[in-house]
A and B are shown apart, each in its own frame.
Chain A
Amino acid sequence: MTPMLEIEKLHAGYGKSLVLRGINLHVAQGEAIGLLGPNGHGKTTLLRCVSALHRPSRGDIRFEGTSLVTCSTRAVLQHGIVHVPQGSRLFPGLTVTDCLRLGAAANPRRGVARTLLSEVFDLFPKLAQRRTQLAGTLSGGERQMLSIGAGLMAGPRLLILDEPTLGLSPKVRHELAAAVQAMRSRIEALIIVDGDMDLVLGVTDRFFVIESGQVVRTGESAAGAGSDQIMALFLGET
């Protein structure tokens, strides 16, 4: 498969603290990958580097051969990379519809907001019921659906989901996992980070385990499901 996103020897940190120490990773067109590993080992920093929210200190990130390391967040978005960040409260004072329409503002395809809006409402019927409600009044699960929905409105080619089920009940997690599966046909590639290892391995083709800012293991998701060794790596017990 053709590499869509290539990350090469990526180093990044905050001040003197180095978080990513030479990460190598690639995502092919049509592929979904999962990032696993204990908290605080660089998964979110890696995603923030891809979406240009954080500048790497060394290394390269290429999307279809074009380097992204000097791009602005908006330029990355215009390449079709949409990042739904961890635990975002989105825009608590805006209505559900306004949040979703804002998402469509960056979509390179003009005049598609109405169609996309109905697609998002089909995917997340709860949002349709709450379309005039303020985002800040939604439950945690609904807010997460709204964040993902706003991401989909931007017309992603590569969708990045950071901890979409963080702090949610098992029922809502199950709903979100089904939605992630359903949306795979609409996007060209997916990167997902989540604390629910079964969810990650269930919706992806390959996984990467990140520990201390490095990829320490990679493999087919189908083979990793139920593996005690992956679970131990995931929990940082090795």
Chain B
Amino acid sequence: MGSAIAVLVSALVLGSLYALMASGLSLIWSTLGVFNFGHGVLLALGAYFAWTFADQAGMPVVVASVLAILVLAVIAAGYEFSLVRPFIRHQNGAMLVMVATLAITALVQGVVQLTWGPQLRQIAPFSSATVAFSGATASGNQLVAIVAAPVLIGALYLVLWFTPLGISVRALEQNRDHARLIGIRPAAVYVFVVGTACVLAAIAGILLGGIQFMSPTMGDDPLMRAFVVLAFGGTASLGGTLAGAYIIGLLEAVTTYFFGLSWSPVIVFAVMIVVLLVRPEGLIRQRTA
């Protein structure tokens, strides 16, 4: 029983982190039509800034985290301005943006390495409390991750469905030309979309940086898993993304428990290839418009 609960906690934590990553990726994909390969370094930046504010400046972790998120929101504006806006208007804009985000990944990883050094670091926990249940324990950080992801993604859902800005985002996703004809400004929508995705990645980074050691490449694995999540859940709905994230989290937790850390990614990516072959539109049934 204790092992089962431990696997479940692990699945929920992993699922939550992947959901935060994949929902941002999915938002950018469905609005701009590009995969943001820079998503992993945004996660790392969120973690390193939170660590700096908490560990170096001595701020409480919650304050440090909020500050790091604000810094990432500013970085997001620069990211959109320098890596999306100049390229997306070209005929092969999607390809240019993807290449630019790949380039920035290598660049930022180098800058993080030079700035913060190669030492392994970890953000102090939000709470030192642990919860024990049937022989398994969950740390405060794990519980924060488990609660934060669905709450944040639920909030994003409400914004997308019930606010004029969110409805504009969905309109632009569905018909770019007609959206422009009724006065929606794609540039303003892109800033919101990239900003939201960056903030979600930063939050994932802060949560991950409190659970495991940080490194400049700490975003690579979650980014790869987020791609698998999109293959599972499809890119057309947040519900699909959320379900895909928790399926992958569960699959990874179960395979790690039974086959070990080395075999888990092998199995996850093998399953992804099978899913792509059998259901290229994703495992989760999408609502057809």
Q: Please report A residues at the B interface, Cβ cutoff 8 Å.
A: 51, 53, 73-74, 77-78, 82-85, 88-94, 98-99, 101-103, 105-106, 134-136, 147, 150-151, 154
Contact in complex: B174, A73 (CB < 8 Å) = no
Contact in complex: A106, B175 (CB < 8 Å) = no
Contact in complex: A88, B175 (CB < 8 Å) = yes
Contact in complex: B174, A105 (CB < 8 Å) = no
Q: How far is the CB of B260 from chain A (nearest CB, A)?
A: 43
Q: Knowing A89-B175, A150-B182 touch, does A134 contact B289 (C-beta < 8 A)?
A: yes
Contact in complex: B174, A74 (CB < 8 Å) = no
Chain A: which residue is nearest B183 at the CB level? A106
C-alpha gap A72/B179 in the complex (Å)? 13
Q: Which of B164, B174, B177, B183 contacts A93 (CB 8 A)?
A: B174
Q: How far is the CB of A78 from chain B (nearest CB, A)?
A: 8
Contacts of B179 in A (CB 8 A): 91
Q: How far is the CB of B288 from chain A (nearest CB, A)?
A: 8
Q: Knowing A91-B170, A94-B167, A134-B289 touch, does A74 contact B183 (C-beta < 8 A)?
A: yes
Nearest 6 A-B pairs (CB), nearest first?
A106-B183, A92-B289, A136-B289, A93-B289, A73-B180, A91-B174
Q: Which of A51, A93, A103 contacts B170 (CB 8 A)?
A: A93
Q: Please report B residues at the A interface, Cβ cutoff 8 Å.
A: 164, 167-168, 170-171, 173-175, 177-185, 287-289
Contacts of A78 in B (CB 8 A): 183
C-alpha gap A135/B180 in the complex (Å)? 18
Known: A90-B178, A150-B182. 11 other contacts (CB 8 A): A53-B181, A77-B182, A82-B181, A85-B178, A85-B181, A89-B174, A94-B170, A102-B167, A102-B171, A105-B168, A154-B182
Contact in complex: A51, B181 (CB < 8 Å) = yes
Contact in complex: A102, B177 (CB < 8 Å) = no
Contacts of A151 in B (CB 8 A): 182
C-alpha gap A51/B171 in the complex (Å)? 19
C-alpha gap A151/B170 in the complex (Å)? 18
Q: How far is the CB of B108 from chain A (nearest CB, A)?
A: 32
Q: Which of A91, A93, A106, A134 contacts B178 (CB 8 A)?
A: A91
- Could you give 15 example pairs across A and B, Cβ below 8 Å? A53-B177, A74-B185, A77-B182, A83-B181, A88-B177, A92-B289, A93-B170, A93-B174, A99-B171, A101-B164, A101-B167, A102-B168, A103-B182, A105-B184, A150-B182
C-alpha gap A101/B184 in the complex (Å)? 12
Chain A: which residue is nearest B181 at the CB level? A83
Q: Which of A85, A90, A154 contacts B183 (CB 8 A)?
A: A154
Chain B: which residue is nearest A75 at the CB level? B183
Q: How far is the CB of B89 from chain A (nearest CB, A)?
A: 12
Contacts of A53 in B (CB 8 A): 177, 180-181
Contact in complex: B289, A102 (CB < 8 Å) = no
Contact in complex: A73, B167 (CB < 8 Å) = no
Contact in complex: B175, A102 (CB < 8 Å) = no
Contact in complex: A91, B177 (CB < 8 Å) = no
Contacts of A93 in B (CB 8 A): 170, 173-174, 287, 289
C-alpha gap A73/B172 in the complex (Å)? 14
Q: How far is the CB of A98 from chain B (nearest CB, A)?
A: 5
Contacts of B185 in A (CB 8 A): 74
Q: How far is the CB of B190 from chain A (nearest CB, A)?
A: 14
Chain B: which residue is nearest A81 at the CB level? B181
C-alpha gap A105/B167 in the complex (Å)? 11
C-alpha gap A73/B173 in the complex (Å)? 17
Contacts of A84 in B (CB 8 A): 181
Contact in complex: B175, A77 (CB < 8 Å) = no
Chain A: which residue is nearest B173 at the CB level? A93
Contact in complex: B164, A105 (CB < 8 Å) = yes
